[in-house]
């Protein structure tokens, strides 16, 4: 279990091994901006890694392809929350993360 801090909302998410950040957020009652419902195709969930980049898992091919297609720099600091898994503490910046009532994203 790794801790992911998300600003500007200022929350800490517990992310299990192999679990994506977006899945962890949803499980904790938060919505993460998405259009494709976490299928790594819209790019809407892109987030900035502010700290802990070495704790981010390698980028899968579908994430890399979507970032490239949506003209996001492949610098390792921009990651799709619907594909990002972590193995240690990470701080992300993503506007639009919000509390849900548990029935929507």
Q: Rule CB under 6 A: which residues touch ligand FES?
A: 34-36, 38, 40-45, 66, 80, 82
CB of 51 to ligand FES, least distance (A): 21
CB nearer ligand FES, residue 50 or residue 78: 78
Q: By C-beta, is 2 or 66 nearer to ligand FES?
A: 66
Strands 2-7 and 90-93: parallel
Under 8 Å CB-to-CB from 89, ≥6 apart: which residues?
2, 3, 4, 5, 51, 52, 55
CB of residue 83 vs ligand FES: minimum separation in angstroms? 7
What is the smallest separation between the CB atom of 40 and ligand FES, expressed in angstroms? 5
Of the pair 35, 99, the CB lying nearest ligand FES is at 35
Residue recorded with tokens 């921009």: 78
**Helix/strand/coil (H, E, C) string of 63-84?**
HHHHHHHCCCCCCCCEEECCCC
């Amino acid at each position: 279990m790794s801790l992911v801090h998300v600003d500007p909302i200022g929350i800490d998410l517990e992310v299990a091994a192999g679990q994506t950040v977006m899945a962890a957020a949803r499980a904790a009652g938060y919505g993460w901006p998405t259009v494709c419902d976490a299928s790594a195709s819209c790019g809407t969930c892109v987030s900035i890694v502010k700290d802990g980049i070495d704790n981010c898992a390698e980028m899968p091919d579908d994430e890399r392809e979507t970032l490239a297609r949506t003209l996001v720099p492949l610098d390792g600091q921009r990651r799709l929350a619907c594909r990002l898994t972590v193995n240690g503490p990470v701080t992300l910046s993503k506007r639009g993360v919000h509390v849900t009532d548990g029935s929507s994203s």
